[in-house]
Amino acid sequence: MNNIGIVRAHTNIALIKYWGKRNNKLFLPMNSSLSLTLDAFYTDTKVTLSDTYDKDSFYLDNVKQDANETEKITNFLNLFREAANIKTKAKIESYNHVPTAAGLASSASAFAALAGAMNIAAGLNLDKQTLSTFARRGSGSATRSIYGGLVEWTMGYNDVSDSSFAIPVDNADWNIGMLVIAINKQQKKLSSRIGMQQTVDTSPFYPAWVKCAKNDLTAIKKAIADKDFIAMGEITEANGMKMHGTMLGAVPPISYWEPDSVKAIQKVKDIRDMGIPCYVTMDAGPNVKVLCRQTYIEKIRDLLLTEFKPEQLISSRVGSGIIELSEAEWPN
* Candidate list 14, 179, 264, 304; residue touching ligand DP6; CB under 6 A: 14
Q: Is residue 284 a contact residue for ligand DP6 (CB under 6 A)?
A: yes
* Candidate list 97, 193, 299, 317; residue touching ligand DP6; CB under 6 A: 193
- Residue 17 C-beta: closest distance to ligand DP6, Å: 4
- For ligand DP6, the nearest residue by Cβ is 140
Only segment of 17-25, 120-128, 247-255, 311-319 that touches ligand DP6 (CB under 6 A): 17-25
* Candidate list 10, 17, 272, 301; residue touching ligand DP6; CB under 6 A: 17
Q: Is residue 20 a contact residue for ligand DP6 (CB under 6 A)?
A: no
Map the chain to HEC letters: CEEEEEEEEEEEEEEECCCCEEECCCCEECCCEEEEEEEEEEEEEEEEEECCCCCCEEEECCEECCHHHHHHHHHHHHHHHHHHCCCCEEEEEEEEECCCCCCCCCHHHHHHHHHHHHHHHCCCCCCHHHHHHHHHCCCHHHHHHHCCCEEEECCCCCCCHHHCCEEEEECCCCCCEEEEECCCCCCCCCCHHHHHHHHHHHCCCHHHHHHHHHHHHHHHHHHHHCCCHHHHHHHHHHHHHHHHHHHHCCCCCCCCCCHHHHHHHHHHHHHHHCCCCEEEEECCCCCEEEEECHHHHHHHHHHHCCCCCHHHEEEECECCCCEECCHHHCCC
Pick the closer one to ligand DP6 by CB: 6 or 14: 14
- Residue 310 C-beta: closest distance to ligand DP6, Å: 26
- Residue 144 C-beta: closest distance to ligand DP6, Å: 8
- Residue 107 C-beta: closest distance to ligand DP6, Å: 5
Binding mask 23-42 for ligand DP6 (x = CB under 6 A): ----x-----x---------
- Residue 14 C-beta: closest distance to ligand DP6, Å: 3
Q: Is residue 152 a contact residue for ligand DP6 (CB under 6 A)?
A: no
Q: Is residue 233 a contact residue for ligand DP6 (CB under 6 A)?
A: no
Contact positions vs ligand DP6 (CB under 6 A): 14, 17-19, 27, 33, 107, 139-141, 192-193, 283-284
